[in-house]
Amino acid sequence: MDMVGAAVITIWALGLLKETAPVLLDASIDEPEQHFIKAAVEQDSDNQVSDMHVWKVGANHYAAIISVVTHYPTRHENYKNMPAAISRALACHGRSEYLRWAVVYS
């Protein structure tokens, strides 16, 4: 009976490691989703993404730091509302991810 218990716990632990490792190791999202987010940001005005990092922070939640270069900056609210638009677009493509970011001007 001890061997059965050990096997059950081992299988459970391996499943837990497989599920939590990407979150704990700051895994990024897949390449197609990265290109989709970049294209969504760059379609607004003359935005160019110079650097982008997206981390999985939960089951279907992501956080992003995106550096945008533009010659015609718009209002702060425009950039703040971009994640909601991108999340809606991802949902239309069968993805349920939720993206959140902070806007910092320099």
Res 15: pLDDT = 92
Q: Average pLDDT across each block of 10 residues of the chain; the chain has 106 residues. List them in order.
A: 90 89 70 81 83 75 78 76 69 59 60
Res 86: pLDDT = 72
Res 95: pLDDT = 58
Q: Which domains does the chain have, with CATH numbers?
A: 26-101 (3.30.70.1350)
Res 99: pLDDT = 61
Are 38 and 47 a contacting pair, CB within 8 Å?
no
Res 91: pLDDT = 64
Q: State the CB neighbour count (10 A cutoff) for residue 102.
A: 10
Give the burial class of 74: count Cβ atoms within 10 A of its Cβ; 0-12 exposed, 13-18 middle, 19 or more buried.
exposed
pTM across the whole model: 0.60
